[in-house]
A and B are shown apart, each in its own frame.
Chain A
Amino acid sequence: MPLTLRGISKRFGNTVALDDVTMLAAPGEVHALLGENGAGKSTLMRIAYGLMRPDAGTIDVDGVTSGRGFRSPRVALAAGIGMVHQHFTSIPALTVAENIALTAGWSVTSRAATLRAAALIDALHLPLPVTAAAATLSVQLLQRLEIVKALAAHARILLLDEPTASLAPRETTELLAFLRRFADGGNVAVLITHKLDDVLRTADRVTVLRRGRVTLSTGLEGQTATSLAHAMMGAAVPVAVHKRAPPGALVVRTQGLVLESAEAEGPGVRRAGPVSFALHAGEVVGVAAIEGNGQRELLRGVAGVTGVRAITGTLERRGDAGFIPENRTTEGIIPTFTLTENLLLGRWRRTSRWLRWGVLQRCTEALMAAHDVRPQGAAALASSLSGGNQQKLIFARVVDGRPAIIVAEDPTRGLDLVATAAIHARLRESARDGAAVLVHSSDLDEVLELADRLFIVCRGTVRELPPPFTREAAGDAMLGIGG
C-alpha cells in the first residue's frame, strides 16, 4: 500500500512549519524521515495521522486521495495508517488488552479481547503481558504496545515518531529488525528520527527535512553519515574562534551530582549525571543535546527549579540562579497578568509586604526600555506581546535579579531572526557583566555560536567537549556516535 504526501504546507501563526513537502513511500519499504528538532517531522506525521490538517496538500493512500488530509485519526486508521507516538498514548489505567481493543475497535467482551490480544501478540512475535495495566510497563514494552495497537487496527502503513529515542541498543536492534520484517510483508514503515545510525542500518529510502523543507529525497545507496548530516543540518557554518574569557570567580560546583525529574511525563531519559563540573563568572556554557536526553534535568537541577531534585552528589551554588524556561507561556510568564506583574513574579521576595504599584510600574518601564521590550506599556497584558518581546520580558526579569548564574532552556525557540539575535546579545552581555550562563538550544548551530565551553548530554551522560569544538564532533557526540 503506497503512501504519498504531496505538497503539504502548514503554518502556525507566522511560523512556517512545513513548506510544500512531498514524500513518497512504496510498499516493502522502510522509509526514514530525517531532520533536526523543529525541522517539521512531527508536524508532517501528525498531519499524515489526521491529528492536524494541513493548510494545503493531499494525502494519497493506495491510490485514494484525501484532499487537505484526514479529518481525524479515526479516518486515518480506517485508511490503514497507524501511528506510534513519541509520547505514548496508552491509557495507564487500562490493561494491555483493553488498550489494544480500544484502538482496534474490537467489539467483544474483555475476556475475548484478552484472548484475541494474546493471539495477535503471538502472531507478531512481540511478547507483552496482556492482562497487566499499561501503567506497569517499561518504556520498551509501552512502545511495543503502541505498535501492536496500530497493527491490531489493521495498519499497513506504520508511522513511528522517534521510536529509538528512549531504547537501549539491544532494544533498538529488536525494533529495527521488526520494522524490516513488517516492511518485507509488503507494508510501509515510516521511521521518523534524527539518528543517522538508525537510518543507515535499516532504511531503504530517506526524506530529509530542514526547516520545513525537503532537502534530500533518495534511496540509501551511496549515502553516508556525512552526506545525511549535511542535508539535515545545512552547509557547515564556519565555527567562530572562541576567545575564552579569563575565568572569573567560581559560581557553581558539582561533585558526582545525579539529578532526576519528579514529574513523570513521557518517555525519554529523566535523569542526568553523575556529573562533576565547575562554572565560573563570565563564561557562556553551551549544552547540546537532543530532546529527552537528560538536559532538562541538568538545566533545571542547576537552576534549582521545582520538579527536579538531586539524588546523590553535591551541588554548590554561590549566589542566585535565574531561569528561563522553554515553555514560555505556561512556565515563563502568566499571560493574563500585566507586564509589571510578570516582572514582579521574579522579584516579589525582594519587595516589601505592601506593593507600591507606582514604583513597580516605573521599574517596569525602566526595565522595558533597557531591554527593548516593545511596544506595549507596563499595564498591558503579557499575552499582548509577541513571542520575542515576551522572551525579552522574561530576560529582563531574570537579569533584574542580578543572578550569579543564568540558566536558559532553549531561549529562542519559535522566535524570528531579529528576536533571536537580540536574545543572543543579551546572553553574552550578561556573561560580560559577570554572570555564568548555562544555555541549551535545540539548534546545535546556536549552541556552538554562543558557547565558550560545551557540554554534551546524551542518554543522561554529561560530558564536556574540549575546544576547539567542531560541528561534526558535537553532532556525533549528541547522537552517541563514536567516542
Chain B
Amino acid sequence: MIEAIAVAAFGAAAVRVGTPLGLAAIGELVAEKSGVINLGIEGAMLGGALAAAVGASAGGPAGGIVAAVLTGTGIAAIFAAIAIGRRADQIITGTAITLGATGATGLVAQHVWGVGGAGLSVPTLAPLNIPGLADIPFIGPAFFRQSALTYACYLLIPMVSAALYHTRSGLRLRASGESPDAARAAGVNVAVVRAAATIFGGACAGLGGASLVLAQVGTFTERMTAGRGFIAIAVVALGRWHPWGAAAAALLFGAATELQYASQAAGSAIPYQLFIAFPYLLALLAFAVSRRGERGPAGLGQPH
C-alpha cells in the first residue's frame, strides 16, 4: 500500500518535472520540423519564466501564462529576424539569444524584486483533479492530478501531431524542413513558414518557463532554467522528431530527475548522477545508431 502511494507520487513528480521539458520540446519540434534548430529556446524559456513570475504577481496565474507566451514569442521573433531574415548561422544566433536572455532576465528580476529575488510571492497553479480519470489507480494520481499547464501539454501533443501530419500547413512546414528548395518550387514561402514555426516554438518555450515557475518551483531565480531549453533539444532528438516520441522522452527525463532524488533518499549504492546522465547518454546512443534519414529533417540548420 505504502509502496503503491510512493510509486504514484513518483509518477506525479516525474510528470510535473517533465512538463516544462515537454512544452518546450513540442515547440522546438515544430521549429526543427521546419528546418530551424533554435538554441535560443533556453533563453525563451527563461524569459517566459520571468514573465510568468512578474505577470502572475500582477494578474494571477492566468496573467503569468499570457505574459510568458508573449515573452517567448518575442524572443523567438528576434531569433527569427537574425537567423531567418538575415540567414545567419542558427547555432551561433541561438547561443547569442540565450546569453542575452540570461543577462536581461537577471537585470529585470533584480529591478523588479531587488537583491532578495521573487521570494515565494508568486501565485501558483493548483493541481486540478480531472473527475473520473483522477481516480484510476496509479495513472490517475500520476497524470490527472496535475496543473492546467500539464493538461495544456497533453492537448498540444495530439494537436501538433495532427497539424503536422494531417493539414496543408503541416505539410508545407515539413516540406520546408526536408527540402527548402523543393518546397519553394512547390510554391511554399519557406522563410515565412520557418519564421512562423520558430515563433510558435518560442511561445511553447515561454509556456514551459511558465510551468516551471507556476506549477513546479513557485518563484523566479536567476538562470533558473539551468539548461532545460537545451535538454528540450535533446528530448526532440531522443523522440526521433515525432510529437509522441518527444512526449515520451520528456517523461523519461522527468523520471530520471525524480529517480535521482529517490535514489539519494533511499541511499542506493548506484550513484544518483547516473540517473541524471542516463537520458543524455541515451540520446547520444540514439544518434550513434541512427541512420542518416533518422537524424531529423534533411534541411535542418540550412539557411534558405
Contact = CB atoms under 8 A, between A and B. Distances in A.
Interface in B161-192: 165-168, 171-172, 174-175, 178-179, 181-189
A336 B165 CA distance: 42
Nearest to A74: B187
Interface in B132-170: 165-168
A92 B298 contact: yes
A51 B185 contact: yes
Contact of B182 (A91, A101, A111): A91
Contacts of A105: 168, 187
A91 B178 contact: yes
Given A103-B187, A109-B166, A90 B171 contact: no
Nearest to A76: B187
Given A91-B175, A93-B178, A94-B178, A103 B298 contact: no
A90 B182 contact: yes
Contacts of A135: 293
Nearest to B169: A107
Interface string B266-304: 000000000000000000000000000100011000000
Contact of A107 (B168, B182, B184, B188): B168
Contacts of B172: 102
Interface residues of A, number: 26
Contact of B167 (A83, A103, A109): A109
Nearest to B185: A89
A241 interface: no
A141 to B, nearest CB: 16
Contacts of A108: 168
Interface in A72-127: 72-74, 77, 83, 85, 89-94, 98, 101-103, 105-111
Given A92-B178, A102-B175, A73 B168 contact: no
Nearest to A113: B171
Contacts of B184: 72-73
Contact of A91 (B165, B166, B179, B189): B179
Contact of B188 (A85, A102, A111): A102
A152 to B, nearest CB: 11
B187 A72 contact: yes
Contacts of B179: 89, 91-92
Interface centre among A83, A102, A105 (most CB of B within 10 A): A102
7 contacts: A72-B187, A73-B185, A89-B186, A106-B168, A110-B165, A110-B166, A149-B186
Interface of A: 51, 72-74, 77, 83, 85, 89-94, 98, 101-103, 105-111, 135, 149
